[in-house]
């Protein structure tokens, strides 16, 4: 998918930074425009899951953070996470012959190994950080290059609701929603979306070797980083336009088509079962023995015995 009506991005290019997220937030606080992009050759203080620190040789990864000043309501902000995962997977498929797929909540896989990860952080006009459900402060590191890690709050499960229809309190989330109930524009929230893609790594540390991959490892060559960035931004722009104009429906359908999660036996937030669908706000629906549970944040731990197979019908 390609955007046809977006303005060229303002791109800030840096060599080595602590974190592209930190730089992007600093720029946003000083008034940087919507869709400003920060790109770095290397991060030296990327935050990993559970406080881990991840680094990679300079120039081997695409490390970017995008400033997004969205007028979507708070209830829809989490959908930027699956939207960005879809855009990243589509960009990888355009640039290299890899079958990129998406893993809930915000990873991109090739052959079951992580090749890219996404981090979303948001701040309201006051400048205070807003921790919340997976899309507003969910953080997923890229194994290897140091994409920031998962600091999302523990997910909340809601037992006893059929996955065939959305909860009544969320009715209408499929449609675009840029105004509140009084008809006024929704508050402007600044989101920083970090994207890390493994491009040129030829090896990973032993503890990551079985879980991470790169385009170079999958295809024998690394794509040009500038080409990868340009295609990624095209996909990001196009999917963002659809999300903000049409609602989450089209993004959700494409996520389903690219999903490596649906149909899997998973354990997440204390819930074990079959991942059956993505809800209208990006939450994962899990069939736990006939009761569908809603999980909004966390890290999937697949059952090893079932990790290589999907449930019947998929």
CB distance 249 to 174 below 8 Å: yes
Cis peptide before 105 (omega within 30 of 0): yes
> What pLDDT shows up at residue 53?
55
Pairing type for strands 11-17 and 113-123 reads unpaired
C-alpha span between 87 and 251 (Å, rounded): 9
> What pLDDT shows up at residue 308?
46
Q: Which two tokens stand for residue 309?
A: 């197979």
CB distance 210 to 203 below 8 Å: no
C-alpha span between 41 and 20 (Å, rounded): 10
Q: Which residues pair with 139 in a beta bridge?
A: 119
> What pLDDT shows up at residue 1?
67
C-alpha span between 125 and 107 (Å, rounded): 28
Q: What string of pLDDT tens digits covers the 314 residues of the chain?
A: 654 444 566 999 999 999 999 999 999 999 999 999 999 999 987 654 444 455 678 999 999 999 999 988 888 899 999 999 999 999 999 999 999 999 999 999 999 999 999 999 987 654 444 433 333 333 333 333 345 333 332 233 333 222 223 332 233 344 454 444 334 344 468 999 999 999 999 999 888 888 999 999 999 999 999 999 999 999 999 999 999 999 999 999 999 999 999 999 999 989 999 999 999 999 999 999 999 999 998 889 755 434 444 544 33
Burial class (CB in 10 A: 0-12, 13-18, 19+), 278: buried
CB distance 159 to 272 below 8 Å: no
> What pLDDT shows up at residue 57?
83
Domains of the chain: 11-261 (3.30.930.10)
* DSSP assignment letter at 159: T
Pairing type for strands 301-302 and 291-295 reads unpaired
Q: Which two tokens stand for residue 233?
A: 């931004």
C-alpha span between 103 and 90 (Å, rounded): 14
Burial class (CB in 10 A: 0-12, 13-18, 19+), 71: middle
């Amino acid at each position: 998918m390609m955007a046809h009506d977006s303005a060229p991005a303002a791109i800030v290019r840096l060599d080595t930074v602590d974190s592209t997220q930190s730089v992007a937030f600093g720029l946003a606080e000083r008034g940087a425009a919507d869709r400003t992009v920060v790109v770095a050759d290397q991060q030296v203080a990327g935050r990993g899951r559970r406080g881990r620190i991840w680094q990679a040789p300079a120039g081997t990864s695409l490390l970017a953070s995008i400033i997004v000043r969205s007028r979507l309501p708070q209830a829809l902000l989490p959908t930027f996470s699956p939207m960005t995962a879809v855009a990243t997977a589509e960009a990888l498929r355009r640039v290299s012959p890899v079958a990129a797929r998406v893993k809930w909540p915000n990873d991109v896989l090739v052959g079951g190994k992580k090749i890219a990860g996404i981090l979303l952080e948001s701040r309201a006009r006051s400048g205070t950080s807003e921790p919340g459900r997976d899309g507003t402060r969910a953080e997923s590191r890229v194994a290897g290059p140091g994409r920031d890690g998962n600091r999302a709050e523990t997910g909340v499960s809601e037992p006893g609701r059929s996955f065939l229809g959305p909860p009544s309190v969320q009715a209408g989330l499929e449609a675009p929603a840029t105004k509140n109930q009084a008809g006024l524009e929704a508050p402007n929230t600044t989101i920083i979306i970090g994207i890390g893609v493994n491009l040129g790594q030829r090896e990973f540390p032993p503890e990551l070797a079985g879980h991470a991959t790169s385009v170079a490892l999958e295809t024998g060559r690394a794509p040009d980083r500038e080409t990868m960035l340009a295609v990624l931004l095209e996909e990001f722009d196009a999917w963002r336009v659809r999300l903000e104009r049409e609602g989450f429906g089209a993004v959700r359908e494409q996520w389903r088509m690219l999903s490596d999660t649906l149909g899997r036996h998973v354990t997440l937030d204390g819930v074990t079962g079959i991942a059956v669908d993505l809800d209208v706000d990006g939450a994962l629906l899990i069939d736990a023995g006939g009761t569908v549970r809603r999980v909004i944040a966390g890290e999937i731990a697949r059952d090893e015995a079932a990790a290589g197979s999907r449930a019947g019908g998929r």
